[in-house]
Chains A and B, each alone.
Chain A
Amino acid sequence: MIPDRARGLAVARRGQWIAGLGLVLLAGVYIMAQRFTPMEVSQGLAQKIFYLHVPAAWTSLLVFSIVGITSALYLWLRDERLDLFAASSAEVGVVFSIIMLTTGPLWAKPIWGTWWQWDARLTLTLFLFFLFVGYLSLRAAVPDAGERARYSAVVAILGFLLVPFVHLSVYLFRTIHPMPVVLKPSAPSLPDSMLRTLLIAFVVDLVLYIGFVTARYGLGLVAHARAAELEDRTDA
Chain B
Amino acid sequence: MGNGLRAALALAARDVRAELRSRTALTSALVFAALVLVVFNFARDPTRLGVADLAPSALWITFAFGAMTTLNRAFAIEKEHGALDLLRLAPMPREAIYAGKLLANLAFVGVVEAVALPLFVVFFNRPVWHVLGPLLLVTALATIGFVAVGTLLSAMAVRTRFAELMLPLLLLPFMLPPVIGAVQVTARLFADRPLSEVSGWLRLLAVYDVVFVTISVLIFPAVADE
Contacts and interface: CB of A to CB of B under 8 A. Distances in A.
A49 interface: no
Interface of A: 75, 120, 123-124, 127-128, 130-131, 133-134, 137-138, 141-143, 147, 150-151, 153-155, 157-159, 161-162, 165-166, 168-169, 172-173
Contacts of B166: 134, 137-138, 141
B223 A158 contact: no
Given A138-B166, A161-B212, A168-B204, A153 B173 contact: no
A155 B153 contact: yes
A158 B204 CA distance: 16
B161 interface: yes
A120 B180 contact: yes
Given A75-B222, A161-B212, A172 B200 contact: yes
A162 B180 contact: no
B223 A151 contact: yes
Interface residues of B, number: 30
A134 B176 contact: no
10 contacts: A127-B172, A130-B173, A137-B166, A138-B170, A141-B161, A151-B223, A157-B219, A165-B204, A168-B204, A173-B180
Interface of B: 149, 152-153, 156, 159-162, 166, 169-170, 172-174, 176-177, 180-181, 184, 200-201, 204, 208, 211-212, 215, 219, 222-223, 225
Contacts of B149: 158
B175 to A, nearest CB: 9
